[in-house]
Homo-oligomer: A and B are copies of this chain.
Amino acid sequence: MSETTERRVRRRGGGREARAAVRTSNAASQAIWPGIPGGRYKPLSDVDMARIHDAALTILERTGVGDPIPELLDLVLPKGATLNEHGRLCFPRALTEDMLAQAASEFYVHARGSRAGKDDMHCTKEKVYYANSGTAVTTFDAETRSYRPSTLKDIYDFTRLVDRLDNIHMLGDTVLATDVPEDYQHDMSMVYSMLAASEKPACLTFRTREHIKPAIELFDMASGGEGSFLKKPSVIFGGCPIVSPLRFGRENLEILIDTARMGLVADLAVPPQAGATSPAPLAGTLAQAVAETLSCVVIANLINPGVPVVFAAWPFITDLRTGSFTGGSGEQALISAAAIQMGNFYNLPTSVGCGMTDSKIPDAQYGLEKALTFALAAHAGANRLCEFGGMMGSLMGCSFESMVVDNEAAGMISRTLRGIEVSDDTLSVDVIHDCAVDPGHFLGNPQTLQYMETEYVYPNLMDRELTDTWEKAGKQDLFERSRGVVKDILSSHYPNYFGSKLDEEIRRKFPIMLPKEAMRAA
């Protein structure tokens, strides 16, 4: 036998019962926690970052951003922004640098109810959280392996699923309720369905500025009454004020203006697409993404100095053979990580879209593409890995099964983020000496019991059986196993965190299109 075979220790004993007693299967992991810092992967050199920064300042000063609305001009022209000969809004270098100097470097998003305090997110430095988002128009049907239009019930179902998945820290509107076409009904029903289903912090997108005020009414009701939301915001606001290359999009620009005024956090999600709406060279797309993102940071800070804004440069990739958007590639993983590094260069809170596989199904492509984009963005130190859970098909669809799989992936990645604690205890020089000189298996050593819970994440879904056992058990793949978890949770966990009294009041006041029957077992 070769050394390769010899080296695998399988089922060797020593204290197995003691270890089993320590480990109970579904306990929350003690080896990871939300907000473990990344930042140990640095794709760009210091010189590269300085040059990208310089290019972005040139773009903001010379090229500027097109289609500014009068309301915006009234706010920012008196404070030093300028209009160039093309009618584009420009930002002199000194102005951009001044605004960067005063920009907030942190914010909190609070959890509600029984999660308050312990599940709050503190977005700053290189602390990493996993966040849902996506507003996908289709949902994956695992039974038929095909995509169907997403519904309001899906929003409730995705959220109550995530309510039970420990490693996804932030709720997001992963899908669009295509069965609720009217804008106001949609946005209020979306907010209701999500806040009813989980008390985790959330990032939500709205179709128009008019929906923010009624949404805050709903947030207040969820948080304990009038004025409670603004005291401890549990929601931040997604939506991109930029249409690449370098133009404003009206609706989300208006939302940015309103949230900045109210001191609320905007997650910009600026999406230039290399080779299509930004240059084919990755450096050029990065420079444009930085310029576009900084334009929003400057605007928010001109409106309300020090208001937290997320450096949400989300550069995307095009398959230049076809011109199609593609979410899963080495280029995507690399440029997302580099964008995060630029945000950390500015000491701004960051987010990035990642885990954007092009695969339509949770297969090996799905795993390869997701893990590569997750891992590099996390190790670059993204505060929020967005589009995280369940997204498939180049962001066109969301899947319950994938959500469960991604939750497992998040646990693995968090463990790598935590790194290796080096101390006299962990270096174990004396334990090594004793076990080497007087041969004893480490499995039975008291040190192993002491460290087994704090040093290791134990997966719930990853197969670690012997090959024979796996074959005899029906040769299931991870996708099949994830279906069981989805069924378990969705058939039993029907929360309504508003409670029945508040629920009645909400349903009287707002057009909530989610029927009560969707919120209980059939």
Contacts and interface: CB of A to CB of B under 8 A. Distances in A.
A137 to B, nearest CB: 6
Contacts of A154: none
A282 interface: yes
B284 A428 contact: yes
A487 interface: no
A459 interface: yes
A179 to B, nearest CB: 15
Given A275-B452, A458-B321, A459-B329, A397 B467 contact: yes
A343 B391 CA distance: 38
Contacts of A326: 464
A291 B409 CA distance: 32
A422 B41 contact: no
A422 B283 contact: yes
Interface stretch (A91-99, A301-309, A474-482): A474-482
Contacts of A462: 328-329, 358-359, 365, 369
Interface in A28-51: 40-44, 47-48, 51
B452 A364 contact: no
28 contacts: A5-B137, A7-B271, A9-B276, A11-B324, A41-B41, A58-B429, A245-B436, A280-B451, A280-B452, A280-B456, A284-B427, A284-B429, A287-B427, A288-B432, A320-B448, A321-B458, A328-B462, A329-B459, A330-B413, A333-B375, A362-B364, A363-B479, A364-B366, A364-B367, A364-B479, A364-B482, A375-B375, A396-B467
Interface in A100-115: none
B66 A364 contact: no
A517 interface: no
Interface string A325-337: 1101111011101
A330 B88 CA distance: 48
B283 A426 contact: yes
A447 B279 contact: yes
A281 interface: yes
A14 to B, nearest CB: 7
Nearest to A413: B330
A323 B52 CA distance: 50
A11 B456 contact: no
Contacts of A484: none
A300 interface: no
Contacts of A136: 4
Contact of A3 (B240, B287, B321, B479): B240
A135 B7 CA distance: 12
A334 to B, nearest CB: 5
A428 to B, nearest CB: 3
Nearest to A252: B3
A70 to B, nearest CB: 21
A57 to B, nearest CB: 10
Interface residues of A, number: 168
A394 B8 contact: yes
Interface stretch (A16-24, A123-131, A493-501, A504-512): A16-24
CB-CB nearest 6 A-B residue pairs: A367-B367, A284-B428, A330-B415, A371-B371, A363-B477, A283-B426
Contacts of A470: 360, 393
Nearest to A16: B323
A197 interface: no
Nearest to A379: B41
A464 B329 CA distance: 10
Contacts of A316: 7-8
B360 A475 contact: yes
A360 B481 CA distance: 13
Nearest to A428: B284
A482 B463 CA distance: 22
A437 interface: yes
A371 B360 contact: no
B321 A416 contact: no
A441 interface: yes
Contact of A147 (B330, B335, B427, B471): B471
Nearest to A176: B2
Nearest to A66: B436
Interface in A205-260: 205, 207, 239-240, 243-247, 249, 252
Given A2-B176, A422-B51, A458-B319, A330 B416 contact: yes
